[in-house]
Amino acid sequence: MTGVYHPAQRALHWAVAATVALAAPLGIAIADMSDAEVRSLTGGGLGIGDFYWWHKSFGFLVLTLMLVRIAARLRLGAPPYDPPMAKRERIASHIVHRLMYLLLVALPMLGWIGTSLYGPGVANFFGLTMPDLVSKNREASKLVLDIHGIVGMTVLWLIALHLCGAAFHGLWKRDGVVQRMTGGGRDG
């Protein structure tokens, strides 16, 4: 049977997945709104400003969890596949996972840089004002936040590929690959 990841690695995987699942719809909801629409919805109650607050907070949480996850992966490694995966499957898996790791760090960093460029004190982490990484430049902010949106959509496509791979291994091949991250028994 395929080995399973350390419980801390599994917990971090699912924590990142849950946090991305919370951040992504908020980001999609606010992506196409004009500044006027944003201002009209921020006064009182759950408005778009609250969507920004939650989206940015979840983004910082993703960044934090991913940095811890990378440290855990470097420290604990990955369990071996038993039986070994086919070479093309292993290559595809490594490419998708490495891109997700890279982009799940780059994505919140781009958001942080973009909000820092927008204006001082805009970046927040559950009510804590985060330091600005760069000086205010609204024009550059728009460009960086546009790139942030493109990277975000790319992450969603990679997650879709990841889920397709998990479904392929869990439902079709039943080779125990999915259990590496769920910790459950082999499904074959």
Query: Residue 22 belongs to what domain range?
Result: 7-178
For residue 93, what pLDDT is reported?
Answer: 87
- For residue 50, give the DSSP letter: H
Any domain includes 55: yes
Any domain includes 89: yes
Report whether pLDDT(44) > 50.
Answer: no
Q: Are 61 and 19 in contact (CB under 8 A)?
A: yes
- For residue 124, give the DSSP letter: E
Residue 145 neighbours by CB under 8 Å, 6+ apart: 110, 111, 114, 115, 118
Q: Say what percent of the chain tops pLDDT 70.
A: 87
Any domain includes 185: no
**What is the domain-level CATH number for residue 168?**
1.20.950
Any domain includes 120: yes
Report whether pLDDT(8) > 80.
Answer: yes
Measured distance CA(54)–CA(65) in Å, rounded: 16
Number of domains in the chain: 1
